[in-house]
Structure 1
Amino acid sequence: MSVIGTGYLGATHAAAMAELGHEVVGVDVDEAKIERLSKGEVPFFEPGLPELLSKHVASGALRFTTSTAEAAQFGDIHFVCVGTPQRKGEFAADVSFVDAAFAEVTQHVRPGSVVVGKSTVPSGTAARLQPLVEAAGAELVWNPEFLREGFAVKDTLHPDRVVVGVSGDIGLAAINEAYAPIFETDNTPVIVTDFATAELVKVAANSFLATKISFINAMAEICEVTGADVVQLSDAIGKDARIGHRFLHAGLGFGGGCLPKDIRAFMARAGELGVDQALTFLKSVDDINMRRRARMVDLAREVCGGSLAGQRVAVLGAAFKPNSDDVRDSPALDVAVSVQKAGAAVRLYDPEAMNNCRALHPQLAYADSALEACRDADVVLHLTEWQEFRDLGPDEIGAVVKTKNILDGRNALDPELWRAAGWHFRALGRR
């Protein structure tokens, strides 16, 4: 099989398919990336992937190329795993990479092959691409991905469900063969459906998760003015089996390369289809999410006496979530930049995202460790809940800061512990 696109999704999928026993070739136009992958090197941080990749590159089961023609002739099933970023200046998704990948692969596929779309796309994309695939004598399948950064290998090899949008038996048989080791061992639920439903599953799931996150963050806003505690509130309502605790944690909100751009693209597509009113609530979801970042900057200003000008601010975390180096639309990095623009001297540290941060924001100052970032700080901002930061005690950090002010942007620290050690502790939605 071939995997077209070797970014986060494609590289993970290619290595996982090799782990399932298939011969796999990965394709990308980025020569530097292909060179690194061919050496068994992962160009981003994802736990477990380097070991899987290097294992199968060494065995010969997995190789990489820049030639789509070569890959198309090699495989019987071709997974398209290219990105659909948000268009600049718009909410809509940019599907040009998907269109280019399909145009290229369909020029070279053998008749009887199956082309599988895994990219997150606007509803109607598969139906638009189907004639192109069929004209090449191939069959189209839409098989959306549901990867969580930090758990991508597990989510690929042990998915909680597999969704397959098909128009014929050949495509379904190809998916069943590709995922046979998973189906045989995990009893994984398989939802076989049409293209439109398969496309909607991913964006609907992400929209629901984003709504749940923004709901509890809206409650955090209420808690701040009523004196309630959002952590206790979340725990209480999460015990309702209909609600549950997952994704019900107040803080800086969501970021990364999926949720923000997916809900915006969903709204844009609904507008194009004439049903924009059905998704107007997602605008509020997005607005609530962005307000949390502004609130953290305001809290930093408050604890610094009303102005950030000239203050030394330590920022712990830049990735949008722990166990990732992804800083796309990261709330943590957004806060760091905003605090600096307000006049503060910012020093930032993240265990894995430093290189990505430096590439995007060379104007920020970076530290080699969490304690170095905190040295002589007037306030410490805890913005990504890496275990490394949670393991640092108030006494250890207290020994290097100038003033014992800490703001917990993820509600992951114990306020009583920090206050007992003499810290002025503040968090979003907490007393």
Structure 2
Amino acid sequence: MSTRIAVFGTGYLGATHAACMAELGHEVLGVDVDAAKLEKLAAGEVPFYEPGLGEVLRRNIDRGRLKFTSSYEEAAEFADVFFLGVGTPQKKGEFAADMVYVDAVIETLAPLLTKPAVIFGKSTVPVGTAERLGKRARELAPVGDGVEVAWNPEFLREGFAVQDTLHPDRLVLGVDRGRHGRAESAAREVYADLLDEGIPFLVTDLATSELVKASANAFLATKISFINAISEVCEAAGADVTVLADAIGYDVRIGRRFLNAGIGFGGGCLPKDIRAFMARAGELGADQALTFLREVDNINMRRRTRMVELAREACGSLLGARVAVLGAAFKPDSDDVRDSPALNVAGQIQLQGAAVNVYDPKAMDNSRALFPTLTYSANALEACEGADVVLVLTEWPEFLKLQPSDLDAVVRKKVIVDGRNCLSPDEWRGAGWNYRGLGRP
């Protein structure tokens, strides 16, 4: 059964959700205040790199199921179900999440709601937000109690966002237990195809649903920082963290995924979300509960400093050295450079007097916008030309395929530092290279 849906925010989360809801057969309107972004999307262009999303977007625009607008009036008139997918960045100068964009959607949309409506929040927000927004929406809306705010957190992985929306490992819906409204039945209609697939559907109270997302991100960040802390011990002891991770990863209680030691996590979610989680716990009086996340954050940032140290050790001095940086995105299959460890390391090395040449298969434009003073190369070989050290900082498949013989004639010195432990030390050392990995002997 087709539902008329409006999705507010057409950034990474919103654009993906809008296209995928249309793919499920619904009529969808994407809403944003950014005219340039809307123009691109309406023309079938995705303004960021996400594998497979362009095809889904164009297919549903062609079918007439997906349109875009800047008009809240049009959206309020058109839809019965509203999804809120705007950003919640870190506030300047503090840890807390900035709710200005989320609040703006409710303040603008609610006064236009003259018929019963369900607003599903998807953004990652501090616990207590959904209840507050529900009260505010009912105060502002002409339909009053006919407005229900529920929370339906997203669990997207960049690079797999289409798959994670159309075939998620679970659906979580937080509903206002005090109001026996239609949020659950509306969600069951919207996600009917997913539920037919047997995907677990957990209906919770509002606070639990908000905490599910924050807790999932905190756990993943902790797992990455745990193996990076162990990698520091491995370096001190002369042990190999990759073999250690394989060995403990066989334990089903631990698992091998997210146990890759390296330069740590970045991106638009994990760093800001764990900080916002700490800040909110403090506001609630549960500040002792999450103090360990401060150390998770510290370990993560320390990895970047360690990478700079390894580059310096490799060159003797960074002043006047030529450094090749392979990778700028915070992870492969993405052009996202928000809080990217790779780009952060490149910037730090340049500040210490090195000439830094960066290459990334997809994140060049975003990197240039953020770090215009770095030198950008057209391909990996060009980046490595005359290099005193090659740093692999994002584990793109094309870097994994590089052979020592590809670079032998290009570099000045055969030195490679593997910031993602994604290359074979034996292969590179066997070819006469000085190979360094993080947490490896």
Report TM bin, short chain: over 0.9
Q: 1:376 and 1:9 mapped to 2: Cα distance?
A: 41
Partner of 1:72: 76
Matched, 1:258 2:269: yes
Partner of 2:220: 209
Shift of 1:230: 0.3
Pick one of 365, 368, 386 that aligns with 1:358. Answer: 368
Matched, 1:428 2:432: no
Contact 2:318–2:349, Cα closer than 8 Å, also in 1: yes
Partner of 1:198: 209
Give aligned-pair identity as a percent: 65
Matched, 1:242 2:253: yes
Shift of 1:81: 0.3
Partner of 1:176: 188
Shift of 1:13: 0.2
Partner of 1:317: 327
Shift of 1:36: 0.5
Within-5 A mapping of 1:78-227: 78-135=82-139, 136=141, 137-167=146-176, 168-184=180-196, 186-227=197-238
CA deviations 1:140-176 (Å, max 9, x no partner) are: 1100000000000000000000000012340101000
- List runs of 5+ in structure 2 lacking aligned partners: none
Contact 2:118–2:182, Cα closer than 8 Å, also in 1: yes
1:193 alignment partner, SS class: strand
Shift of 1:397: 1.4
Q: 2:158 and 2:334 mapped to 1: Cα distance?
A: 6
Matched, 1:21 2:31: no
Matched, 1:401 2:435: no
Partner of 2:63: 59
Contact 2:148–2:181, Cα closer than 8 Å, also in 1: no
Q: 2:149 and 2:353 mapped to 1: Cα distance?
A: 54
1:106 alignment partner, SS class: helix
Q: 2:362 and 2:267 mapped to 1: Cα distance?
A: 15
Q: 2:13 and 2:339 mapped to 1: Cα distance?
A: 18
- List runs of 5+ in structure 1 lacking aligned partners: none
Shift of 1:399: 2.0
Q: 1:203 and 1:120 mapped to 2: Cα distance?
A: 7
1:245 alignment partner, SS class: coil
Tell me the TM-score normalized by structure 1.
Answer: 0.99
Q: 2:183 and 2:252 mapped to 1: Cα distance?
A: 38
Tell me the TM-score normalized by structure 2.
Answer: 0.96
Report how many residues are paired.
429
Q: 1:376 and 1:107 mapped to 2: Cα distance?
A: 62
Instruction: Give the RMSD, CA atoms, in angstroms.
Output: 0.7
Q: Which amino acid aligns with 1:161?
A: R
1:314 alignment partner, SS class: strand
1:426 alignment partner, SS class: strand
Q: 2:408 and 2:276 mapped to 1: Cα distance?
A: 44
Q: 1:365 and 1:180 mapped to 2: Cα distance?
A: 50
Q: Which amino acid aligns with 1:400?
A: V
